[in-house]
Amino acid sequence: MDKSDNSMIRESSKVIKSNIFYVVEYRELILTLLLNFDETKFTKSYLKDLIETAHIFMKLLEHFCTNRSIVVQRHTVSRKRKTKKSTPREQGATRSPEELWDELGPQISAVFQNDANIPSDIVPFDAASDKDMDEQKVDAMHKIQTLLRNQQFEEAIGLLRASREVWPENDSFGNANMAPEEEFMAVRDIFMADIQ
């Protein structure tokens, strides 16, 4: 294609080669195929074709790089350190949970009244985890508290409801038939709890 008389074909060749040499997956495909070659599964003609393809690829890359210095280069970005300014969230960390609740309680109540945005597909329990049920229960409680304090109320309430289904015993997350006011108080209890 590079030696064609038609300029459109030569331009297409440049575009194709630039795509092949700049996309990491394309560049590493032949190497991956060579590394995954298994003589018990693949034929010798496949290996021959693979080696010829690798040779052609290297020749194309060499020709492509003759007029360029580097195909892909990593740029190191120097970042300036920012001076830390006190944010309202940091100031909130020094306030007591009661003061925070007085501020956030009405917002949480509004989320309960309009619960269309509360996700219902949250999974609080990971069966493949090394942690047992009780540890994951504490982790779920801690995550609910963190979400509440970070003002992610919909996710916190969704996680609370999902946890209630997984751990119905002892009403740690409330019971299935609780009124909205009781659920609000359960959220308050988790918000105020000293969870380690």
Q: Would you say residue 25 lies in a domain?
A: yes
1 part of a folded domain: no
Residue at 74 is within a domain:
no
| Residue pLDDT, tens place only, 149-160 | 888 888 888 888
**50 shares a domain with 102:** no
Together in a domain, 104 and 168: yes
Contacts 24+ apart (CB under 8 A), 125-132: 125/166
- Flag whether 70 is in a domain: no
Question: What mean pLDDT is predicted for residues 134-163?
Answer: 85
Are 61 and 92 part of one and the same domain?
Answer: no
- Give me the residue label for tokens 């074909």: 9
- Co-location of 171 and 95 in the same domain: yes
In a domain, 81, yes or no: no
Whether 186 and 150 map to the same domain: the answer is yes
For residue 46, tell me if it sits in a domain: yes
Domain co-membership, 28 together with 115 = no
Is residue 119 predicted with pLDDT exceeding 90?
A: no
Q: Which domain holds residue 170?
A: 88-192
Q: Note whether 94 and 188 are same-domain residues.
A: yes
Give the residue among 25, 80, 31 at the shortest CA–CA distance from 57. Answer: 31
Q: Which two tokens stand for residue 82?
A: 């920012």
Q: Is residue 161 part of a domain?
A: yes
What is the number of structural domains in the chain? 2
- C-alpha 78/C-alpha 159 separation (Å) is 40
Supply the pLDDT for residue 92. Answer: 46
* pLDDT tens-digit series, residues 34-65: 888 888 998 999 999 999 999 988 888 787 77
| Spatial CB neighbours of 158, under 8 Å, sequence gap ≥ 6 | 118, 119, 120, 122
The answer to whether residues 101 and 133 belong to one domain is yes
Return the pLDDT at 75. 46
pTM of structure: 0.50
Which tokens go with 45?
Answer: 């003609």
